[in-house]
Structure 1
Amino acid sequence: NNHAQKDSYIRIGGGCPAIIGKKLFVQVQRIKAKNKRNTGRYHSKEFYLLTGKLVCDVCGKRMIGNLRFSGRSKTRLATYRCNTHRAMCNNKELNKDYLDAYIAVLIGERLKPKNLRKAVSKVNQQVQKFNSSYDKYHTDVLQQYNEVQDSLANITKAIEKGIFTDDLLQRAERLENEKTKLE
């Protein structure tokens, strides 16, 4: 019965004015389809490309990312929504995948190869700077960790020899706490 109703609908191509061009629409659809195939990554924290950049056009508050699983099939629904309570702002949610993909395509269209090379070069410089400072930090932490391990090993040896004092136990406890922080 429902199928017969659908068959009676009349479809008019281009009956509704398009908001975006056909080429851009096809690109966005491809990105959306690719995202659906890579569903495994959605078990980790969701990445919202436009966090802090979207403002509600109804109440002016920032829009935030929202992820939920709806229906019996637990369909993943990632959106941007107004940070104001629904009772105060009735703005609708925006599909996160569609909007992120749309913006990514627009950025790609506007970045000329020369500008893109400059942007990539700056990002690479920042990455190298971060990596070198991280490597130094990691080395320092590793050295502190090894020193704590050695101190704990010495305390264990002392206890095995029968030296068992409150000060020694308190020091061991402090070192264990420090070891946990360093880990």
Structure 2
Amino acid sequence: TTNRNQKFTYNSVQTLLTNKRYIGENHFKDIVMPDSIPAIVDKDLFEEVQLKIKKNSRAPARHKAEDDYLLTTKLFCGMCGAMMFGECGTGRNKVVHHYYKCSTAKRFKTCKKKTVRKEWLEDLV
């Protein structure tokens, strides 16, 4: 549990891996006191995490997609004109389906455009 007797969440783990107190450093204004607090996180692990956080801050979703969606910035919905982007979903048989979806249909649910299969559309183009 956390210091407030709550379960760990994504935010509490992120705080643990970004706050320098957990590697033993104490900061007050411009004064840095290393090894003044018992370290919970290894310094090498902390630095490695900081590099990954810095890399992901520029493009957070770039490496999430397992498949390349070639038409993401070039494909627009025929009903509302909004951009269509790649999305995937897992079916009941644990088969991953890749498709393009209208951004208005996803965000606001106002467009009636159905999703379009990625393979079919890219082969057609």
Q: TM-score range by the shorter chain?
A: 0.3 to 0.5
Higher strand share: 2
Q: Give the number of the structure whose residues are more often helix, by fraction.
A: 1
TM-score (norm 2): 0.44
Tell which structure's C-alpha radius of gyration is larger.
1
